[in-house]
Chains A and B, each alone.
Chain A
Amino acid sequence: MSETTIVETGKRPEVASSSPGEWIRKNLFSNIPNTILTIVFGVFALYAIRGLLGFILSGERRWEAVATNMRLLMAQGYPANQFVRVWVALGCLMVLTGLSLAIWNAKGQLPIKKISNWTMNIGFGLMLFAVLAPISPSSRLGWVIAGVLFLTFGFGLWMSTKNNQNRTLDSIPTVWFSFGFLGTLVLSLWIVPFGHYAFTNGELVAETGRTVAMSTKLPFTVMWVLLVCSYCVIIRVRDYLPTGQAKALLVGLWFLSPFVLNWIVLRDPDFDYGHVISTDVPVAALFIFAGGGILYLLTKPSLGELGRLTAIALLIFGVFNWVAAFFGWYPMLQKVRISFVLLALAALIAPNFAADRRTRLKFVTGWGVLIVISHWLITAVNSPSTLELQGPTYLGGFSLTLFVAVLTLLLSFPLGVLLALGRTSSMPIARVLCTGYIESIRGVPLITILFFFSNILPLFLPQGMEIAELAAIVTGYTLFSAAYLAENVRGGLQSVMRGQYEAADAIGLTTSQRTGFIVLPQALRVSIPPLVGQAIGVFKETSLVAIIGAYDILRIANNVVPAQTEFLGVKREGLLLVSVIYFIVAFSMSKYSQRLEERVGLGER
């Protein structure tokens, strides 16, 4: 009996489907008060939609201000002849997405019934638009026809599932539906005359009645092809791949991609190869081999207390180097200082790998990979960019918003988990430090922290050390958001019952094993809703970077476009666009979290 229940979990009981007419009667007009409420709110909603449509379609709206400034809104001053870098970066992400879809999500099915519902909803939306929008009768007819087409198509689909007795075709793969949908959007760029906007010799040429410029539709098509091709290739060979390792590799690539894409593809660092060969490579090699040797020794199972003492000595040495840098006692390469701290941290976790020879060698290999990647990125960050841009940051517009949000979330999540663990740990020093950190950060407004990191921090840095504006923003924001994430994770930690800890102890797990395999998975599962709430907050609050002089999308729409000579005071159009963009991103995040909650069974167990 219990076996059947396990099999059934994850599948929802099927809801008896009813015809649209029945549904309307049952839900909207079931009794008199319900009918009155339906009518009153319906009229309200219609007025609101009509008002919004009137606003959008009014002749006073100057949407060309938004169209002309689209590049400014998306990427600020990113030069047009360098746009290929943005597309290359996006292309890398597309390939990664295709690979991940093939590895993870290949079996998702989308019921035809759902598609028919969506199609009918679109049809209703178009009809509503045709009825309410203040447009000319001829275009109204066009919209009505489009709406009827959608409605008929959706209804046909719905009927076909109903009459389909053997039910062979009641769903199609979600992935192919998404590809088809995106493909239709891309195809529409080639067919629908959205208007042709292009910069020729610095002059904006705008022609209505033509499709968008080649520089827009071609890259989007390439992106779609990359996505579909990478998916198709992997899905063919999927069964021969070691899935576990492929997943690990993809997770690593996703984690690395923001850093690599931003610092390598977008900036294209101008490496000084003489310096790289004479200094950077030897330093990295030294750390890989000498550091690797030390770590190999430290993972010796019979080492005991000595290993711990060595690790602590290394940590003290690593921190001392930074103190020395602050007072300028002796010069040392920045990356050497960072590497010493990394070595100390690796030494601290080394006892966890004190096992057979293979495990120890794997740990040392991991160390080598870490050094190669971190040294490469440090060198890349500190090499001048070949990208020539005006202004203090090399990103702006929506790219800046995305960049700050993604990097902040990526970096603050591990930090937040560590802080939460520290705050709930039994070690008094760690607990006091973490509590103090969380409370003091939570007691300070984000604006203050951003000001501090952009204006005041440079004055405290050691002599000759500088901080890039963008790095200052991300660092400050990460430290801020980590404190809030830590509190969300702590809530999850508290929901893990005492018995779980005791059971883990009883079967002889070490503290780190207990935390990593028993406590954190349960705690993080519970904290998904507040964590996603926090992530959405982080994304939206990136608009505060405007205060320290960076041009994010909101600032460009609110202050820059209305100040242009040709679009003086044209503000509402841009603000509407910005709110739509913010909504799309935030809503997608929220939708994704709902799916995640469903998958981990939150609220059901």
Chain B
Amino acid sequence: MTQKSKLIKLLAVLFAFTLVTAACGGDDSDDSSASSSDEVTLTAEGGSLLETVQERGTLNCGVSGAAVAFSTLDPEGRMVGFDADFCRAVAAAVLGDADAVNFVSLTAAERFTAVQSGDVDVLMRNTTWTQSRDTDVGMDFGPTTYYDGQQLMGKAADGFSGSSTVGDLDGATICTNAGTTTEKNIGDAAEAAGVTINLQTYEDFDIVTDNFIAGACDIITTDGSGLVGRKAQQQPEGEEWVIFPGAPISKEPLGPTYGQNDSGWADVVNWTVYATIIADEKGINSGNASGVVGNDAYDAEAQRLMGGEGELQTLMGLSADAFQNVITQVGNYDEIYSRNLNPVGLNRAGSSNAGWTDGGLIYAPPAR
């Protein structure tokens, strides 16, 4: 009896040890065919990231995971939003399957390290394109998918209107979240306009909004997309919140970001975005994209883009119907935009994000 219980104890200890070691090491030579999907894979040395991603079979896409309407988890645990859909678009182009995405949620601090260490292949994490990030940090930026800018929100009852300017803010209490560039931008703008403001910062924007509702803040400020979402969801009945000035006080072009000096990969990501924009211009959407090739109603450029005669996708290392997959499985730019951003009150018409023919900035080079 004593021997037996001793044996059990010792086996338990030994067994614990096995499990630790087993957990530490995936088999290197044992099951090379069977690398489980929840393991971190490092980028292969040399060669384009494109081949690595195609070999791996999934795209590691860095997102915020907590950015309203851009990337959030829905109640079923799916990553949804504008940025998440562009991740799916890239996966559809590279792998032919919009669901072959491994979403990695990143904080603002770790996002660039994650790209450099190869943890993620592309970053769709409302990252503003700036000179220092492009040069000093070692990132490359793709085409802007969303033109954002910092704006302010006040209550109509306090005398603010859509045509108010920073000059009207004299003596106002302005709230924003701490440690971001928004804090610096509003300070600079107030100084330039020659007004004195009382700036207060809070840990996160939920608290900022609560203080605004309670009246502790006269004005709150962050990127326009954030303000519109708050207004659409949290404006109490009988109150009128207004967003101003019409021209934002900062420029925040948001788009895909990836490691520098990988032209092959950059081309794939960039042209995936362009393909959604061109498809929007040509009236190709998820419903009709599969019927474009060989249909005379569409011009030669649309035919080429969808994989018809003279297509250029195979030259990029993709399959001929890569962009057709993108449009069929994810949709064109307008579909992606309306699906995710219309519910929070962000409309394309009249904004910088309208197509270039409608007075906006969304523009793609020709596909030829």
Write the chain A residue with the least CB distance to B1.
A244
Q: Is the CB of B36 within 8 A of A385?
A: yes
Of B37, B42, B107, most buried by chain A (CB within 10 Å of CB) is B37
- Bound Cα distance from A195 to B80, whole angstroms: 27
Of B69, B210, B233, most buried by chain A (CB within 10 Å of CB) is B233
Chain B nearest CB from A94 CB (Å) reads 24
* A560 contact from B15, B23, B38, B65, Cβ within 8 A: B65
- Bound Cα distance from A352 to B10, whole angstroms: 11
Chain B nearest CB from A37 CB (Å) reads 35
Q: Is the CB of B73 within 8 A of A335?
A: no
Q: Is the CB of B22 within 8 A of A77?
A: no
Q: Is the CB of B11 within 8 A of A370?
A: yes
**Chain B neighbourhood of A362, CB < 8 A:** 3-4, 7
Q: Is the CB of B36 within 8 A of A384?
A: yes
Stretch in B98-106, B160-168, B173-181 with 4+ CB within 8 Å of A = B98-106
**Chain B neighbourhood of A418, CB < 8 A:** 13
- Bound Cα distance from A334 to B13, whole angstroms: 20
Q: Is the CB of B73 within 8 A of A468?
A: no
Q: Write the B215-257 contact mask toward A (1 if CB under 8 angstroms, else 0).
A: 0000000000000011011100000000000000000000000
Q: Is the CB of B4 within 8 A of A549?
A: no
B314 within 8 A of A: no
Q: Is the CB of A569 within 8 A of B65?
A: no
**Chain B neighbourhood of A325, CB < 8 A:** 28
A333 within 8 A of B: yes
- Bound Cα distance from A415 to B19, whole angstroms: 12
**Chain A neighbourhood of B193, CB < 8 A:** none
Chain B, 27-83, CB within 8 A of any chain A CB: 27-31, 33-42, 65-69, 72-79
Q: Write the A551-575 contact mask toward B (1 if CB under 8 angstroms, else 0).
A: 1000010011011111011010000
- Bound Cα distance from A467 to B18, whole angstroms: 15
* B12 contact from A78, A255, A270, Cβ within 8 A: A255
* B117 contact from A388, A455, A549, Cβ within 8 A: A455
- Bound Cα distance from A517 to B5, whole angstroms: 10
Chain A nearest CB from B83 CB (Å) reads 12
Are A335 and B10 also in contact (CB < 8 A) when A396-B77, A562-B206, A564-B74 are?
Answer: no
A470 within 8 A of B: yes
A8 within 8 A of B: no
Stretch in A19-27, A173-181, A374-382, A583-591 with 4+ CB within 8 Å of B = A374-382
**Chain B neighbourhood of A72, CB < 8 A:** 73, 75-77
A279 within 8 A of B: yes
Q: Is the CB of B77 within 8 A of A467?
A: no
Q: Is the CB of B19 within 8 A of A390?
A: no
A-B pair count, CB < 8 Å, reads 237
A275 within 8 A of B: yes
Stretch in A119-127, A156-164, A302-310, A457-465 with 4+ CB within 8 Å of B = A457-465
- Bound Cα distance from A269 to B8, whole angstroms: 28
**Chain A neighbourhood of B27, CB < 8 A:** 333-335, 378, 382
A536 within 8 A of B: no
- Bound Cα distance from A362 to B8, whole angstroms: 11
Q: Is the CB of A569 within 8 A of B230?
A: yes
Chain A nearest CB from B87 CB (Å) reads 10
Write the chain B residue with the least CB distance to A467.
B24
A13 within 8 A of B: no
* A551 contact from B3, B18, B73, Cβ within 8 A: B73
Q: Is the CB of A411 within 8 A of B76?
A: no
Q: Is the CB of B31 within 8 A of A77?
A: no
Are A563 and B34 also in contact (CB < 8 A) when A335-B27, A362-B3 are?
Answer: no
**Chain A neighbourhood of B104, CB < 8 A:** 391-392, 549
Q: Is the CB of B28 within 8 A of A465?
A: yes
Write the chain A residue with the least CB distance to B21.
A338
B9 within 8 A of A: yes
Chain A nearest CB from B364 CB (Å) reads 28
Query: Chain B, interface size: which category?
Result: 35 or more
- Bound Cα distance from A346 to B7, whole angstroms: 11
A side interface size, CB within 8 A: 101
**Chain A neighbourhood of B159, CB < 8 A:** none
- Bound Cα distance from A475 to B102, whole angstroms: 23
**Chain B neighbourhood of A341, CB < 8 A:** 17, 21
Chain B nearest CB from A562 CB (Å) reads 6
- Bound Cα distance from A85 to B35, whole angstroms: 22
* B38 contact from A393, A411, A463, A512, Cβ within 8 A: A393
Q: Is the CB of A384 within 8 A of B35?
A: yes
Chain B nearest CB from A265 CB (Å) reads 16
**Chain A neighbourhood of B65, CB < 8 A:** 551, 559-560
Of A369, A379, A459, most buried by chain B (CB within 10 Å of CB) is A379
- Bound Cα distance from A389 to B229, whole angstroms: 29
A488 within 8 A of B: no
Q: Is the CB of A275 within 8 A of B75?
A: no
Q: Is the CB of A468 within 8 A of B13?
A: no
Q: Write the A493-535 contact mask toward B (1 if CB under 8 angstroms, else 0).
A: 0000000000000000000100011000000000000000000
Q: Write the A441-468 contact mask toward B (1 if CB under 8 angstroms, else 0).
A: 0000000000000010011011111111
B344 within 8 A of A: yes
- Bound Cα distance from A478 to B21, whole angstroms: 12
Q: Is the CB of B234 within 8 A of A468?
A: no
B25 within 8 A of A: yes
Chain A nearest CB from B312 CB (Å) reads 31
- Bound Cα distance from A516 to B9, whole angstroms: 9
Q: Is the CB of A411 within 8 A of B26?
A: no
**Chain A neighbourhood of B131, CB < 8 A:** none
A202 within 8 A of B: yes
Q: Is the CB of A382 within 8 A of B7?
A: no
A359 within 8 A of B: yes
- Bound Cα distance from A68 to B19, whole angstroms: 37
Q: Is the CB of B29 within 8 A of A410?
A: no
Q: Is the CB of B24 within 8 A of A464?
A: no
Are A560 and B72 also in contact (CB < 8 A) when A272-B31, A334-B28, A467-B26 are?
Answer: yes
A600 within 8 A of B: no
Chain B nearest CB from A32 CB (Å) reads 43
Of B2, B3, B26, B344, most buried by chain A (CB within 10 Å of CB) is B26
Chain B nearest CB from A129 CB (Å) reads 28
Chain B, 94-119, CB within 8 A of any chain A CB: 99, 101-107, 113, 117
Which 8 pairs show the lowest CB-CB distances between chains A and B? Answer: A77-B77, A568-B233, A471-B23, A334-B27, A374-B18, A464-B28, A466-B39, A559-B66
Which residues of B approach A to under 8 Å, CB–CB? 1-31, 33-42, 65-69, 72-79, 99, 101-107, 113, 117, 206, 209-210, 229-230, 232-234, 343-344
Give me 11 A-to-B residue pairs in the complex whose CB atoms sit less than 8 angstroms apart, sorted by A's number. Answer: A79-B77, A325-B28, A335-B27, A374-B22, A382-B26, A414-B13, A466-B35, A551-B105, A560-B65, A563-B67, A568-B229
Given A68-B75, A366-B11, A462-B28, 7 new contacts (CB under 8 A) = A333-B29, A382-B26, A385-B36, A392-B104, A466-B41, A475-B23, A549-B104
